[in-house]
């Protein structure tokens, strides 16, 4: 992981590119984040930094939390998250990470907690189809129906779709484009939607997907067995000619 920051979802809007095309974007208030703790290879066995985001009053912190945060100076942060950054060894406790860590054109993965939908039925939660309304179906048109297992195995297997709590779970949307970065306001605009409600905490990091730019060599395989018949005479298509 090269770059990462903690932010807050502001909401969605749209901006126009140079060609006049509309780009739907989500605005994220990114940072500033303070390095609260530093993990080293000698002491912890790996290199990482713990970032803190959003100031909070001391009276809202427990004594263990306050003692942990005092090691970073006057930083009283509400949200903490550890990241294994590539340059973690170069960072020190008390350093700040701001929105200008990212630049226009970067691709990022955004993690957040999705909106909670409450207790939902099997149709809304899993997309199951409803039953017919005729021939004795009864008042169970939106029920899950038969679960299948009988005396053996006498139980329902894990993973069976059913009604229950919908949403309110961690979701990561990958490979989003950073359309605009405003260091003065501390905001990042990414193309598309991200999980969570307005004001929800999100974690932004560089994408795990390596996107190759299209060029002259795009789509050409380096495997000789996959070369065309003109190049590889061992292919059956070449031998049959």
Task: pLDDT band for 89, please (50, 70, 90 cuts).
Answer: confident
| Short-list 16, 10, 3, 5, CA closest to 180 | 16
Q: pLDDT by residue (tens digit) across 36-76?
A: 989 888 988 989 999 999 888 988 989 998 988 888 877 78
Q: pLDDT by residue (tens digit) across 155-213?
A: 888 888 889 999 999 999 999 999 999 999 999 999 999 999 999 999 999 998 876 66
State pTM to two decimals.
0.78
CA dihedral 20, 26, 27, 30 (to 10 degrees): -130
Q: Average pLDDT, whole number, for the chain?
A: 85
Share of the chain above pLDDT 90, in %: 44
Residues 74, 105: Cα–Cα separation, whole Å: 34
Listed in order, strand segments (DSSP E) in 41-186 are 48-55, 77-83, 96-97, 107-113, 116-120, 164-167, 170-182
- Can you read off the two tokens belonging to residue 199? 């004001």
Task: pLDDT band for 120, please (50, 70, 90 cuts).
Answer: very high
**128 HSE (CA, 13 A, CB side):** 19
The predicted structure's pLDDT at residue 235: 57
| Short-list 90, 15, 79, 21, CA closest to 52 | 79
Share of the chain above pLDDT 70, in %: 87
């Amino acid at each position: 992981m090269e770059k990462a920051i903690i932010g807050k979802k502001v909401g969605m809007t749209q901006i126009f590119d140079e060609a006049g095309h509309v780009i739907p974007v989500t605005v994220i208030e990114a940072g500033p984040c303070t390095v609260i703790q530093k993990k080293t290879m000698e002491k912890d066995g790996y290199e990482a930094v713990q970032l803190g985001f959003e100031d909070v009053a001391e009276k809202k912190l427990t004594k263990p939390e306050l003692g942990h945060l005092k090691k970073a100076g006057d930083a009283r942060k509400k949200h903490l998250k550890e990241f294994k950054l590539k340059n973690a060894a170069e960072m020190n406790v008390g350093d700040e990470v701001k929105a200008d860590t990212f630049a226009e054109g970067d691709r990022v993965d955004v993690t957040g907690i999705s909106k909670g939908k409450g207790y939902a039925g099997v149709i809304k939660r899993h997309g199951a189809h409803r039953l017919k309304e005729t021939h004795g179906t009864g008042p169970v048109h939106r029920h899950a129906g038969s679960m299948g297992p009988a005396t053996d195995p006498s139980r329902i297997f894990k993973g069976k779709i059913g009604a229950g709590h919908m949403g309110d779970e961690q979701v990561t949307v990958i490979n989003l484009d950073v359309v605009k970065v405003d260091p003065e306001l501390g905001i990042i605009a990414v193309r598309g939607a991200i999980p969570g409600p307005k004001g929800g905490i999100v974690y932004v990091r560089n994408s795990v997907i390596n996107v190759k730019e299209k060029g002259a060599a795009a789509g050409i395989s380096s495997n000789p067995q996959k070369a065309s018949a003109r190049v590889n005479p061992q292919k059956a298509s070449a031998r049959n000619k």
